[in-house]
A and B are shown apart, each in its own frame.
Chain A
Amino acid sequence: MAAQAKIPTPPPQKQRRYGMVIDLDRCTGCGACMTACAVENNVPSGPPEADERKGINLMRVFTVRERNSRRTAFIPILCMQCGDRTPCETVCPQQAVEVDPLTGIVEQMPQRCLGCRYCMAACPYQARTFNWWDPAWPAGMETTLNPGVAPRMRGVVEKCDLCHSRLHAAEDRAAAEGRRDLNPGEYVPACVEACPTQAIVFGDLADKASEVSRLAAQPESFRWLERLGTGPKVYYRTRRRWVRDLARQGGAAPNQEVTRG
């Protein structure tokens, strides 16, 4: 404690708005991002009966088919880090969801979560998952867990927090070098790093000079369900018109041509 008092308070950090632009024309649906995400965040493999309905996936790649032309798009969905009106934050009865004012990251605190799942109902992207099971690993596999991330207990909600532990590690490294702010590229989430075609560009949307800001501003870029006014910080881009047309719709009706494969 005494030693801590001697450290001068660091100057306030730059305010950031971390976000990403996912190029759907480069997504191959290989699933590397999903696996890398699960490994990074100590997501257990789950029992054999866990399926798409109950398995923990902080990131999920949807296969979207257009029926008549047989065209396919792969659409990765993760927490959109809604910035304007965060649907999950306002509904949580006990403040287990918090938008970090410094980074814009929507944080989920599993230690405080009651497991009422109201946030999951409120999230239009279904980017939140609930731990239906106790986390379990085969004997010995716990030695391969990421030391930076605590495993979540059964009965709580979890979601993507843009690999928050990586942000902490990057900030620690920067602090050790006497820097206050991070350099671009110093902190990237696991999915961004894993993508074999570099389909995901990650960075600070508040920094107008960043690649991610430049791409987000382009006419090919869009966000899902923009009209709900939640201000997602995850952008998508594609040159394919039919995929962009999808984004203009609110929901999908069964007589439309798009179905999930």
Chain B
Amino acid sequence: MSATRRDLLLMTAAGAGVGMVFTPVPWKLLDDVSIWTQNWSWLPKHPRGEITITHTVCPLCPAGCGMKVRRVNEAPFAVSSTPGGALCARGFAGHQLPFHQSRLRTALHRGKAAPLAEALEDAAAAVERARRSGAVVAVLDQRPGRMVSVLYRQFLAGFPRAQYVTLPAPEEGTLRAVAELTGRPPRSLGYDFERSRTIFSVGAPLLDHWGAPGRLLRLWGAPERKIRFWHAASGNSRTAALSDRWMAIRPDSEHALVRGLISILIREHGAGAGLALPASLSAFPPEEAAARTGVPLAQIQELARELATARPAVAVGGGDPVAGPLPAATEQALSVLNALLGALGTPGGIVERRPVPQPTLPPGLPAETTLARAPARSIDVLIVDSASSGCAWPLELIQDKLAPDAVTIHLSAFRTAWTAQATWTLPVPAPFEAWEEIPETPGSRLASWSLAKPLFPMPEGAISPEAVLHRFGLPEDQTLDALLQAKAAAIEKAGRGVVRPLAEPDESSPVGEGLWDQLTEGAVWVDDPEPAPRPLRAAIPDLPDLPQVASTAQFPLLATPAGSRGGAGSMPSPPLASKLTRESHLEPAAGEVRVHPRTAESLGLKHRGRAVLATPKGETAVVVRTDPGMADGFVEVAIEGDRGAETLALFPVSRDGAWRWSPAQLRRA
């Protein structure tokens, strides 16, 4: 067999092909392919650098929990609780909030991007016009009690007609009613849970979104716990699941339940023996409470017996970050219940919280009004502070107070449902980008004070609320820094309380020189407990009856808003917290409603099916989730995420500022 040139060529080609396998070329190529699949240019590179640890407090809500922050190249990458503390799920992801997709990089004029300088100038002109014309200028503060609140009041003092309006913490609803009953100033009372034996919550999510999350969870999870938790609410919340006893009452029957308890306590347990009681209190028939709540009378009597015997006992109302406060009449009834339980000014009950020593303030600062009490259509220029309470407030509450053609100026780091309504939105630093002051936690019995450190530099194009006030006419010599330093000095001078370093809370030291430095390095000032609480005297008023919300033929169901702290409101949720609500069913997920499987079946709705939720105020598209833990005929509507405010607007706000219930209709989409 002779080889032709053709064969030779073929041999060469085949040989090259086979030989190639034995060279590094194909293997290198494969290797590079595999490396490439791991290093796509669109995969973010994680940072490298020195790792440091910072201790500070969380600025996301008024709870101000301690945080241990791990940072790389100064950027925080993970947080954890400080010893003895307990961060909530939101807190663990909070440091990513400044990069939220809705972060504002520019000012807004009626929802449209506008240069900051221009927006600032126009807004300042509007404020100046109001000053000259004597129009009402107001500041809305969701976290009263801070030094920046004082700065706002100093600013308002420069106007002929001004209002300082607050949205007080919902946790303190019962405390406010007790303060009124006993003639104490607002924010001067707290709960002494640590010494309680029975804690009775009426719709208050004590074990999930209430006050500082760690406080009650620590009590609840204590080994050999003595405290018993009773919970009365319609919704199968986590608090309902974790309480020792959960009374699944009918929607909006809290008032009847409290009235029934008061009646039984007086009739059967001789409560309020030393007090002058209006006869109507014991005249309320307990059977009616049983009928209206749908709870057997024996169970209400058992609760009354436990409240009467397992003392100290305290009743807590409201405080839901989404469903809002209980009606004022119910809170008043709760304050009377507490008085009958002997919980006013006694250990384990509701006690006085000494105010934080304050610097001397100039006279003539406008007094605090709650938004619910501000006159309707009275505000011409409204400035809304950026700090969030973590609660979802119906925007209707604010809109009702605005005069026609009112100007609203929102200080906000994010584009939200609130800023969509604003005339101007000025981009302020996000949480973790500026110092934030944390006064005492809502509901706490001890005054405290701490400062949240910035973990990121303030970005270009943002302006601090203080700088905005100076631009709006606040004298330049009145600064936040001076006020904060003065407050530190006042505390030092009073010599009260201890300083707890966040890194080692056990190594607290009495207040002395250098409080300011200690606070800025990462410490909390906590007031000394009073040796013995002073009894609070109350004159027991007659209680009005409160009609219950009723379903109608057109709206046969009863709906309530449900959600988590920080899930909707004037600030978005950290992205990973939104992920949590979206991907687990621990919290109501955005756009969802939860109903009992029977309710769903009777309406022809399927689990995960689409539906339309309608109330007398409008309708919205929702996804149905069935949950055997729900009460039949009852809809829990998630107030969460971008559409949260829009969904909350479906709930009518009652005259005393409550929006817990609405008759509703659910139909297949």
Interface, chain A (partner B; CB < 8 A): 26, 28-32, 34-36, 38-40, 42-43, 45-46, 48, 50-52, 55, 57, 60-61, 63, 65, 67, 70-74, 111, 134-147, 149-151, 153, 190, 193-194, 196-199, 259-261
Contact = CB atoms under 8 A, between A and B. Distances in A.
Nearest to B590: A48
Given A31-B584, A31-B586, A142 B44 contact: yes
A125 to B, nearest CB: 16
Given A28-B208, A28-B242, A65-B627, A138 B578 contact: no
Nearest to B65: A196
Interface in B55-104: 72-73, 75-81, 86-93, 95-96, 98-101, 103
Contacts of B99: 137-141, 144
A146 B92 CA distance: 13
B80 A194 contact: yes
B92 A70 contact: no
Contact of B236 (A42, A70, A147): A70
A47 to B, nearest CB: 10
9 contacts: A30-B89, A34-B586, A35-B576, A39-B93, A52-B585, A111-B38, A138-B575, A141-B575, A197-B86
Contacts of A199: 221
A196 B241 contact: no
Given A28-B207, A136-B44, A197-B217, 19 more contacts: A28-B217, A30-B88, A30-B89, A38-B93, A39-B93, A52-B585, A63-B586, A65-B236, A65-B628, A72-B240, A74-B241, A136-B42, A141-B575, A144-B76, A147-B49, A147-B77, A190-B80, A196-B213, A199-B221
B582 A55 contact: yes
Contact of A142 (B45, B100, B221, B242): B45
Given A30-B208, A35-B90, A261-B629, A196 B43 contact: no
B248 interface: yes
Contacts of A35: 89-90, 92-93, 576-577, 580
B46 A65 contact: no
Give the 8 A-B residue pairs with the shortest CB-CB distance, closest first. A196-B86, A45-B575, A72-B241, A55-B583, A142-B44, A197-B221, A141-B99, A31-B89
B128 interface: no
B666 to A, nearest CB: 18
A10 B313 CA distance: 61
B37 interface: yes
A66 B95 CA distance: 37
Contacts of B87: 32, 194, 196
B47 interface: yes
A73 B79 CA distance: 27
A193 B77 contact: no
Contacts of B578: 45
Contacts of A73: 241
Contacts of B586: 29-31, 34, 61, 63, 74
B583 A52 contact: yes
Contacts of A29: 238, 241, 586
B214 A153 contact: no
With most chain A CB atoms within 10 A of its CB, the pick from B86, B584, B585 is B584
A57 B583 contact: yes
A67 B628 contact: yes
A151 B103 CA distance: 24
Contacts of B76: 144
B580 A34 contact: yes
B78 A194 contact: no
Interface of B is mostly: mixed
A148 B584 CA distance: 26
A173 B79 CA distance: 20
Contact of B46 (A61, A139, A151, A260): A151
A143 B76 CA distance: 8
Contacts, number: 193
A190 B582 contact: no
Contacts of A50: 579, 582-583
Interface of B: 34, 37-38, 40, 42-49, 51, 72-73, 75-81, 86-93, 95-96, 98-101, 103, 207-208, 213-214, 217-218, 220-221, 236, 238, 240-242, 246, 248, 575-580, 582-587, 589, 627-629
A89 B409 CA distance: 59
B452 to A, nearest CB: 17
B621 to A, nearest CB: 15
Contacts of B91: 32
Contact of B37 (A57, A136, A150, A153): A153
A257 to B, nearest CB: 9
Given A50-B582, A65-B628, A150 B576 contact: no
A36 to B, nearest CB: 5
Contact of A198 (B34, B221, B629): B221
A31 B75 contact: no
Contacts of B51: 147
Contacts of A198: 221
B242 A145 contact: no
Contacts of B49: 147
Nearest to A42: B46
B241 A135 contact: no
A235 B75 CA distance: 36
Contact of A30 (B95, B103, B213, B628): B213
Contacts of B86: 32, 196-197
A60 to B, nearest CB: 6
A73 B208 CA distance: 15
A16 B301 CA distance: 55
B217 A196 contact: yes
A38 B579 contact: yes
Given A35-B577, A45-B578, A147-B47, A61 B629 contact: no
A39 B47 contact: no
A73 B34 CA distance: 44
Contacts of A139: 99
Nearest to A111: B38
A32 B92 contact: yes
B78 A40 contact: yes
A204 to B, nearest CB: 22
Q: By CB atoms of chain A within 10 A, which of B45, B93, B248 has the most?
A: B93
Contact of B214 (A48, A142, A196): A196
B582 A51 contact: yes
Contacts of A26: 221
A46 B47 contact: no
A160 to B, nearest CB: 15
Contacts of A134: 40, 42-43
